[in-house]
Structure 1
Amino acid sequence: MLIHPWDAPQDDAHWQQWLAEHDFGQLAVNGLPGEGPCVQPLHFAYAPERGPRGEVVTHLARPNPLWPAVEADPRVVLSVVDDYVYVPGPWQAPDDTPPEHGVPTSFYAAVQLHCTARLVDDPQEKAELLNRQIGHFQPDGGSARAAVGEAPYGRMLAGIRGLRLEVTDVRAKFKYASHKPDDVKERTAAGLLARGGVRDLAAYAHHLRHRTTGGPQD
């Protein structure tokens, strides 16, 4: 992923705060010899305090075809992309340029966690892993805890395998035109608010943040 200086996060807290609210992504795994990469959509829980760069926990069904590839090569990438919008060309045209000459672009936020995967098959460790995920997604409770040999989840533990992903590197990008002239920024912000699509307000918030914090090229 290409990351220009003006698209880079301001610090680790920038991408960590965003990732705390975006816990569904795609796990990319190197395929077996002669095969292409494997990609698995999944929910996950990220704990930045565990290890130098944090740890991700998740689980998948035991019959998932991903397992042989992970066992062969534990180097994986967890990719999360959201807050993406299409920006029409006229919004990007400077004041001294005809609107129809503006260049359309994409805005998006993306975090890629490069990880070393460890498979979890021990029943007790799987139960602990599941409870961490439940605690993340349901912090107010409402679900029973997983425990080996106990209802309601104990008998289901044999049907899954857990994954602990040690984060070794992070690539983060917030592409919201922080390097553009002020007239373009203002027009783009107004366009996002006026269009009001599903992700336009989230993109507007990113765009505004880069404007008010003085992005690297501002």
Structure 2
Amino acid sequence: MLVHPWDAPREDAEWQHWLAGHDFGQLAVNGPSGEPPLVQPLHFAYDSARGEAVTHLARPNPLWPALEAAPQVLLSVVDDYVYVPGPWQAEPAVPSEHGVPTSFYATVQLRCTAHVVDDPQEKADLLNRQVGHFQPEGGSARAAAGEAPYGRLLSGIRGLRLEVTGVRAKFKYAGKRSGDVRDRIADRLAERAGPRDAAAREQLLRRSGTDAVTP
């Protein structure tokens, strides 16, 4: 992924704060020789203190042989994306029809070493960490090896700890454009009010050093 200086996070806290609100991504694993990568959409729980993400998959999933053969993987998360029409991007001295269309998006890519978890109690602990993330209010029984209601189901899954070894993040929101252009794009996003336009507008204003306001 290409990351221009104007699209890079200004500090680690920027991507960490964004990732804290995003827990669904795609896990890319090297495929067999001559084959494309395998990509698995999944929910995960990222633990910044431990520097890892945890998840689990069904035992029949075809990713397992690939993971065991090549444990270096990439977990990719993308959101707050919109299409920006060319005229919105034209500088004031340029005809609007000469503006260049583009995409806005935020993304974090975690390079990880995958650790497969098969021990029943370790799997139960991993599942409890995930449920604790997604259901902090409680309401579900805790998993425990050999105990109802989930103990008998543990054999049907394998746990996965993704040890983070590198991070690439990008916030592509007109960082190299003039303030006039950024203001125009913010106005147009508010007017269009399509899916993700509000989130993209908030990112644009935040990256421009302006607090997001309700149009």
For normalisation by structure 1, the TM-score amounts to 0.95
> Aligned letter for 1:24?
F
1:122-133 matches, cutoff 5 A: 122-133=119-130
Matched, 1:118 2:115: yes
Mapped partners of 2:145, 2:167: distance in 1:
34
Cα displacement (A) at 1:33:
2.1
Cα displacement (A) at 1:96:
1.0
Identity %: 73
Per-residue CA deviations over 1:155-206 (Å, capped at 9, x if unaligned) read: 1100000000100000000000122111101100001111111100110111
> Aligned letter for 1:75?
Q
Mapped partners of 2:74, 2:175: distance in 1:
27
- Structure 2 gap ranges (5+): 211-215
Matched, 1:209 2:177: no
CA RMSD of aligned residues (A): 0.8
* 1:141 aligned to which of 128, 138, 141: 138
Q: What's 2:37 paired with?
A: 37
Mapped partners of 2:58, 2:99: distance in 1:
48
How many positions carry a matched residue from both structures? Answer: 210
3-state SS in 2 of match to 1:126: helix
1:13-162 matches, cutoff 5 A: 13-50=13-50, 54-162=51-159
1:187-198 matches, cutoff 5 A: 187-198=184-195
> Aligned letter for 2:24?
F
Mapped partners of 2:33, 2:190: distance in 1:
48
Mapped partners of 1:100, 1:43: distance in 2:
42
3-state SS in 1 of match to 2:171: strand
Cα displacement (A) at 1:35:
2.2
Q: Which runs of 4+ in 1 moved over 2 A?
A: none
Cα displacement (A) at 1:149:
1.2
Q: Which moved more, 1:156-165 or 1:141-150?
A: 141-150
Mapped partners of 1:209, 1:144: distance in 2:
40
Q: Which moved more, 1:13-22 or 1:204-213?
A: 204-213
3-state SS in 2 of match to 1:152: coil
Mapped partners of 1:105, 1:79: distance in 2:
21
Mapped partners of 1:175, 1:21: distance in 2:
18
Mapped partners of 1:2, 1:150: distance in 2:
48
Q: What's 1:216 paired with?
A: none
Cα displacement (A) at 1:34:
3.1
Q: What's 1:200 paired with?
A: 197
Mapped partners of 2:148, 2:13: distance in 1:
39
